[in-house]
Amino acid sequence: MAVKKPSIHDIAREAGVGVGTVSRVLNERPNVAEATRAKVEGVMERLGYRPTFAARHIRTGRSQLFGFLTDQVTTTPFAHDLIKGAQARARQADRMLMVIDADGDDRVREQAVSNLIERGVEGIVYAAMFHHEVHVPQALHEVPTVLVDCFTLERDFASVVPDEVRGGREATERLLEEGHRRIGMVTNDLLATKYPAAVGRLEGYRAALDAAGVAYDAELVREGLGNADSGYRFAHDLLDLDDPPTAFFFGTDRMAMGAYFAFAERGLRVPDDVSVVGFDDQHYIADALRPALTTMALPHSAMGRWAVDHLLTAPWGDDRLPLQRRLPCPIVERGSVGPVPASDAGEEP
């Protein structure tokens, strides 16, 4: 350890001015003579001065800090997009983000919230890695909070989630628009209707068919588990039907990936023989498939950005109902959707 870091007093003494003047220079206040400013800045430069943020914080009460807390264990690759989105918005506003991975442990999570509050955060983003209902630490009520990709049953926090229904509808519409009428769907785990990602996407699928005047056929819908095996198995199942689908909508990209292997085994080419739309835009999968997979992107970055933006701009004093926001899942066109194959096209009027 060489020497103690210089403080504003050291600068003042060295420059032969008062501490107030140094502070004014530091904060670029207008009422400082140019000569004085230059002198002070010279001394700062020479001594390698850096302001101490904590001192400013304690005096002004502004921490310029937001907390970002993740729910549960997060082995998904989504976390990072979320953080990036949140951080991008925070940086615009000259704020920093304290990220904490709560690791699925309730006590860790409570502890983390306490820590963040003690560090004076101006708000907290509480993010789940898949869309579901959550129970959050009580202390979150002490500070402005936005829930991301999740919600409480009581709706007592602002929240932002993907618009699953609309995503499911648009995915299906994309296939309808190419002329497909027999569209197979494999949903995520519907598990007691708890997961919006499963229920909502299926609802969107039905809505799109309705709007297009295509009758819903329960035989074309299977309940998968979200993994590659489900996609593989149910793709085979559906293709074994008497009147098999010409297109598939999978509730996850991983299921779509499993299905690709089923297609390969049957000698079916994507998108010539069969069209596919996935969901999630896990681009390390979607990009790597051959052909690359057209899929619905979860708006992780946008949700992260929205959350911080809301923390920055929403009026936190009043008692209005916390905003519940849905963000669209844009389609990412790659190469897995094509027109109905000629042999099937005859079915069209």
- Where along the sequence are the contacts to a second copy (CB under 8 A)? 1, 50-55, 57-58, 63, 74-75, 77, 79-80, 83-84, 87-88, 91, 96-101, 103, 108, 114-115, 117-120, 227-229, 232, 254, 257-258, 260-261, 264-265, 282-285, 287-290, 317
Helix locations, the chain, DSSP H = 8-15, 19-26, 34-47, 53-60, 79-92, 106-118, 164-177, 196-212, 228-239, 253-265, 283-286, 300-313, 342-345
Q: How many residues does the chain have?
A: 349
Choices 28-36, 215-223, 270-278, 299-307; region in contact with DNA by CB under 7 A:
28-36
Choices 7-15, 135-143, 240-248, 276-284; region in contact with DNA by CB under 7 A:
7-15
The distance of Cα 257 from the centroid of its chain, to the nearest Å, equals: 22
Q: Which residues 6+ apart lie within 8 Å of 156 measured at CB?
A: 141, 322
Q: Which of 68, 55, 59, 127 is nearest to 95 (CA)?
A: 68
115 binds DNA (CB under 7 A): no
Letters for 31-70 (x = contact with DNA by CB under 7 A, - = none) are xxxxxx------------xxxx--xx-xxx----------
CB of 138: closest distance to DNA in angstroms?
A: 20
CA distance 199 to 221: 12
CB of 42: closest distance to DNA in angstroms?
A: 14
CB of 114: closest distance to DNA in angstroms?
A: 13
Q: Which does 27 bind (CB under 5 to 8 A by kind): a second copy, DNA, none?
A: DNA
CA distance 228 to 54: 50
Among 1, 2, 3, 18, binds DNA (CB under 7 A): 18
CB of 53: closest distance to a second copy in angstroms?
A: 5
Dig out the tokens for 119 from the structure. Answer: 């560090």
Q: Which does 323 bind (CB under 5 to 8 A by kind): DNA, a second copy, none?
A: none
Q: Which of 232, 223, 228, 290 is nearest to 253 (CA)?
A: 228
Q: Which residues 6+ apart lie within 8 Å of 30 measured at CB?
A: none
Interface ranges with DNA (CB under 7 A): 4-5, 7-9, 16-24, 26-27, 30-36, 49-52, 55-56, 58-60
